[in-house]
Amino acid sequence: MESPIQRYLDDLLTDVSRLTEGTPYDVHPPGRAPDPGAFGICLATVDGHVYTAGAAAEQFSIHSISKPFSYALALEDYGLDDVDEVVDLEPSGDPFNEISLAPGSGRPANAMINAGALAVVGMLKGAGGKSAPRRIVDFYSRLAGRRLAVSKSVYDVEIRNSDRNHALAYMLSSFGIIEDDPTRALQNYLRQCSVQVTCQDLALMAATLANGGTHPVSGEDVLAIEHVERVLSVMMTSGMYDDAGAWASSVGMPAKSGVGGGTLAVLPGQAGLAVFSPPLDRHGSSIRGTETCRRLSRDMEMHFVRAARSAGPAVRPAIDLTQLPSRIRRTEEESEVLDRFHGACRFIEVSGDLHFAGTESLVRAVTELADSVEIVVVDMRQVFEVSRLAVTMLEDLTARLHRSDRHLVLVAGEGLLDAETLTAPVFTSRGTAVEHCEDRLLALHGTGTETLTRVTVTDSPALAPLDPAQRAALLHYMEHRTHEDGEVIRRVGQRFGGVHFILSGRVNTIATDPDGNRVRLNTLSSGMTFGELALGSDDRQETTEKAVGDVELMVLSPEALDQLEQDDPALAVALWRALTRDAYLLVDRYLRETAVRLSY
């Protein structure tokens, strides 16, 4: 099943494509003018899942998006204090190519403007037999998870159009900020700007920052967490230059744009986003890239204020009904159906807060289930907060599953979900959800089991060892009884009241737990018996039996059993053997199911 998140990205791409304003960067190799219509989106989660839409595999120049990553490399090489002596941390409020140097010291305002980026690159040296440019490209490649390369043709055209940056480099040199050859620093800067990337590369680079410096696919620890904190902080305050304040308010993600048409944004702890679209606004940022980030922040609730509330969302692997037996005692025929089709129902347990990361993981877990799964149960009892995005996605999943004759069921604590606004059934306990799912599977696949809503005594599974004549003879000793919904049939502590054969309806077996709470042990249905176990506990009823709906019974009372033993001792012995056999089978099954329940 297609993911709702994938469909959202596809629809977003179509919608934002309608924006035709802006002009692509006009410095490019001959014959390689950017295509104004090129548009790609890539979203990568911190666990390595990648969503793409449009031209996400098209290569383009990284340009200024390189700045935070070279800044990170300098922090890795020198540490925070030494880098801070070369470049400041303050937003300049100026365009990317303004001088923005501190009076007296000449220290650039931050590492995201050109002056700051030149100062940072001037710090990077060759090491281990590799030149500074090679080390930079290698570092970017580790962040992207694949080998990247510099475009010589892009570099050549950039170096011919860099008078202003050349002037900045010499000015930095005059203050001693760039200690070596300023021309070499400029060349290295332009080589890093000429690295060719795709949206997927940038999204994984962003996801590495979101993941605290660990690559989400390779698992390599590329950056120390304290350096990730510094890079993301500077990106938030200065990454979008003189538009940084509006960006922080409307998008709320650390970000960086580049004149090559790329836009990169980071949702810490959750995801990395990259967009490619060449037409630029007056700030030098992609118009479609900016709008895409704004829309995703709004629709997917990716603003850092919302994301900061997220409490470690986790989605556990799906399990089927064999691991979650209900408390309803099924007939042998019903049990056979459930044994055959238990895999058609899968339970997914979610914990934490359902904001973007938790919702994305949940949606992915549901959409990746096999088509043979007919019922999907989302257990949200350990969820603390549900975002608007999560509710929207749950409704979308409900509709998508329904179109293929599949069903979504929700389990949530009181007040977590507004059940009236959801089309999927919502249960407050997992037990009732399991029973609902079993009933639905029986309705879908239980050919012939519908006749078991009423089971005569002569067809009772408990009496299967008896021959037809013996079963018929027992009827003469039985008393017919009926009970209304909610009526107590047998109460705890009562003396043995006979063997009760359920003809129709259901009966709940209720006990008291160690804390004094009344709990339902199981539910008995047509064709089952109760009451005989009291004979094994000092003739006292250990549980309460309560009618669920109207119940019809045939009862072998204690007096009738005494009379049977006098009239036909052989039949009485055969009856007790059959009941003992049935009781052992039920107890054995109950113990096995209890062992399973103890695990969840």
Average pLDDT over residues 77-88: 96
Instruction: Measure the N-to-C terminal CA separation of the chain; round to a whole number of Å.
Output: 28
Q: Cα–Cα distance between 400 and 383 in angstroms, integer?
A: 23
β-sheet bridge partners, residue 426: 410
Whether the pLDDT of residue 94 is over 70: the answer is no
In contact, 88 and 102? CB cutoff 8 Å: yes
Average pLDDT over the chain reads 90
In contact, 108 and 74? CB cutoff 8 Å: no
Residue 430 tokens, joined: 């997992």
Average pLDDT over residues 223-241: 94
Q: Is 316 left (phi over 0), alpha (psi -120 to 50) or beta?
A: beta
Res 557: pLDDT: 94
* Amino acid (1-letter code) at residue 359: T
Question: What angle do helix axes 132-144 and 66-78 make, rounded to 10 degrees?
Answer: 110
Domain ranges of the chain: 4-307, 314-449, 454-597
Res 374: pLDDT: 96
Q: Cα–Cα distance between 212 and 207 in angstroms, integer?
A: 9
Res 523: pLDDT: 83
The string of pLDDT tens digits covering residues 288-305 is: 999 999 999 999 989 887
Q: Residue for token digits 């006979």?
A: 498
Res 311: pLDDT: 47
Q: What are phi and psi of 534, to 5 degrees?
A: -60, -25
Burial per residue of 287-309, b for 16 or more beta-carbon CB atoms within 10 angstroms, e otherwise? bbbbbbbbbbbeebbbbbebbee
Q: Cα–Cα distance between 356 and 114 in angstroms, integer?
A: 34
Residue 407, SS3 per DSSP: strand
Average pLDDT over residues 489-510: 91
Enumerate the H helices of 33-162 as residue ranges. Answer: 66-78, 80-86, 114-123, 132-144, 152-159
> Using alpha carbons only, what angle is made at residue 287 by residues 60 and 250, rounded to the nearest 5 degrees?
120
Res 132: pLDDT: 96
Residue 592 tokens, joined: 């096995």
The string of pLDDT tens digits covering residues 563-591 is: 999 999 999 999 999 988 887 766 666 66
Percent pLDDT > 70 in the chain is 92
Res 574: pLDDT: 94
Residue 27, SS3 per DSSP: coil
In contact, 395 and 386? CB cutoff 8 Å: no
Higher pLDDT, 520 or 25: 25
Res 313: pLDDT: 60
The string of pLDDT tens digits covering residues 320-344 is: 887 777 767 677 778 889 889 989 9
Handedness of CA 100, 105, 106, 112 (dihedral sign): negative
pTM above 0.85, yes or no: no
Res 451: pLDDT: 43
Res 595: pLDDT: 56
- Looking at domain 454-597, what is its CATH homologous superfamily? Jelly Rolls (2.60.120.10)
The string of pLDDT tens digits covering residues 171-223 is: 999 999 999 999 999 999 999 999 999 999 999 999 999 999 999 999 999 99
In contact, 473 and 467? CB cutoff 8 Å: no
Shared fold status for 4-307 and 454-597: no
Give residues with Cβ within 8 angstroms of 233, minimum separation 6.
89, 254
Higher pLDDT, 488 or 582: 488
Higher pLDDT, 319 or 473: 473
Q: Cα–Cα distance between 234 and 211 in angstroms, integer?
A: 17
Residue 542: pLDDT band by 50, 70, 90 thresholds?
A: confident
Q: Considering only 8-17, 321-330, 379-388, which range has the smallest mean pLDDT?
A: 321-330
Residue 587, SS3 per DSSP: helix
The string of pLDDT tens digits covering residues 437-453 is: 998 999 899 765 444 57
**Pairing status of strand 375-386 against strand 262-267:** unpaired
Whether the pLDDT of residue 233 is over 70: the answer is yes
Res 308: pLDDT: 52
> Using alpha carbons only, what angle is made at residue 513 by residues 510 and 515, rounded to the nearest 5 degrees?
140
Q: What are phi and psi of 492, to 5 degrees?
A: -55, 135
Integer angstrom CA distances of residue 281 from 18, 100, 278, 285, 494: 15, 21, 10, 6, 83
Whether the pLDDT of residue 420 is over 90: the answer is no
Whether the pLDDT of residue 100 is over 90: the answer is no
Average pLDDT over residues 70-80: 98
Q: Residue for token digits 């509006």?
A: 246
At the second CATH level, the architecture of 4-307 is 3-Layer(aba) Sandwich (3.40)
Q: Residue for token digits 């995801």?
A: 271
Higher pLDDT, 527 or 33: 33
β-sheet bridge partners, residue 149: 196
Residue 307: pLDDT band by 50, 70, 90 thresholds?
A: low
Res 188: pLDDT: 97
Whether the pLDDT of residue 389 is over 80: the answer is yes
Residue 105 tokens, joined: 């010291």
The string of pLDDT tens digits covering residues 247-262 is: 989 999 999 999 999 9
Residue 367: pLDDT band by 50, 70, 90 thresholds?
A: very high
Q: Considering only 28-32, 53-57, 224-228, which range has the smallest mean pLDDT?
A: 28-32
CATH class of domain segment(s) 314-449: alpha beta
Integer angstrom CA distances of residue 425 from 298, 376, 457, 476: 28, 11, 36, 46
- Beta strands, E only, 258-355: 262-267, 271-276, 314-315, 319-320, 328-329, 345-354
In contact, 528 and 512? CB cutoff 8 Å: no
